[in-house]
Amino acid sequence: MKNLISKNIGLSLLLISAILLSSFILSKPAAKPTFYLIGDSTVKNGKGRGDGDLWGWGNYIAAYFDTTRVAVENDALGGTSSRTFQTMGLWDKVLTKVKPGDFVIMQFGHNDSGALDDTARARGTIRGTGNEQKEVYNPIRKVQEVVKTYGWYMRKYVADIKAKGATPIICSPIPRNKWKDGKSDGRNDVDSYGQWAKEVSTQSGAYFIDLNKLIADDYDTEGEAKVKSTYFGTDGTHTLESGAQLNAKFVIQGIRSFNQLALNKYLK
């Protein structure tokens, strides 16, 4: 009789433990989504600490979001192209963290126009969005490498993100501080990285923010003198804090323009 009672008590305790464990698992809050940023120095300059008074727009994105509900992680690296962000292993490090329900925004193009195999960077991509490729010797990595088009690398980002159950967003590159006849000449239109970024978004089904046009239109309104003195430092590509903040504002404007984009619900 005692053994039977002890056995019943043991079974009851196991049942209670199972119920409590099940309740804990069911009530455990799901991990909050992460909004990842990848790109070049115009997204994160240096270590993102304002070295040389230069900043990327990625530094100012988190302030627009309720970070108790969504994490914002800026993994951009200066000097990279759509190609080298992958071949250097940077994309793999980000991709391993991406989970269903996350978001990834990308902006590449400023460095893609470089040489394919020079001894300084070897970071260029083949122009366009086709499937052309060229085998080169990469003197930086000291390997033979098959280089693809800008569009090919961008499509791979999108495919990888979608395979993880996350949402890809493509931005056209921000305009450079170039002017012609009083108008911004930093536009990326036909036969350019801005146009190709748009084509990739159409081909792959990614969201597209025409950051280049949004900012260039604003530059035209503000005027050459103000833009040069307020938003840029010693070169025509990298922005001061005010310029990075302006660019971030237009990234958020682009995000808000998509009613169906779930990322919107985490904005303040």
Domain 33-266, CATH number (from 3.40.50.300, 3.90.1150.50, 3.40.50.1110, 1.10.3720.10): 3.40.50.1110
Q: Looking at residue 84, what is its pLDDT? A: 98
d(CA 216, CA 219): 5
* Identified catalytic residue from 12, 17, 235, 242: 235
- Considering the candidates 40, 41, 102, 184, report the single residue annotated as catalytic: 41
Which tokens in the block code for residue 143?
């390997």
The secondary structure of 170-224, three-state, reads EECCCCCCCEECCEECCCCCCCCHHHHHHHHHHHHCCEEECHHHHHHHHHHHHCH
What confidence score (pLDDT) does residue 191 get?
A: 80
Neighbouring CB atoms inside 10 A of 194's CB total 24
Whether residue 243 has pLDDT greater than 70: yes
| Position 14 pLDDT exceeds 50 | no
Residue 246 to residue 56: CA distance in whole angstroms: 10
Could you tell me the pLDDT band of residue 10, with boundaries at 50, 70 and 90? very low
Q: How far is CA 196 from CA 100, 154, 252, in A?
A: 27, 9, 21
**pLDDT, position 79:** 96
Name the amino acid, one letter, at 247: N
Tens-digit pLDDT profile for residues 132-170: 999 999 999 999 999 999 999 999 999 999 999 999 999
| pLDDT beyond 90 at 221 | yes
pLDDT higher than threshold 90 for residue 214: yes
Token reading at 5: 């009672």
**238 classed as catalytic:** yes
Of the pLDDT bands very low, low, confident and very high (cuts 50, 70, 90), residue 28 is: low
Residue 235 bears catalytic tag:
yes
Find the radius of gyration of the CA atoms of the chain: 24
The string of pLDDT tens digits covering residues 179-203 is 999 999 988 876 899 999 999 999 9
Rounded Cα distance between 266 and 268, Å, is: 6
201 is an active site residue:
no
Closest by CA to 93, choosing from 160, 23, 150, 12, is 160
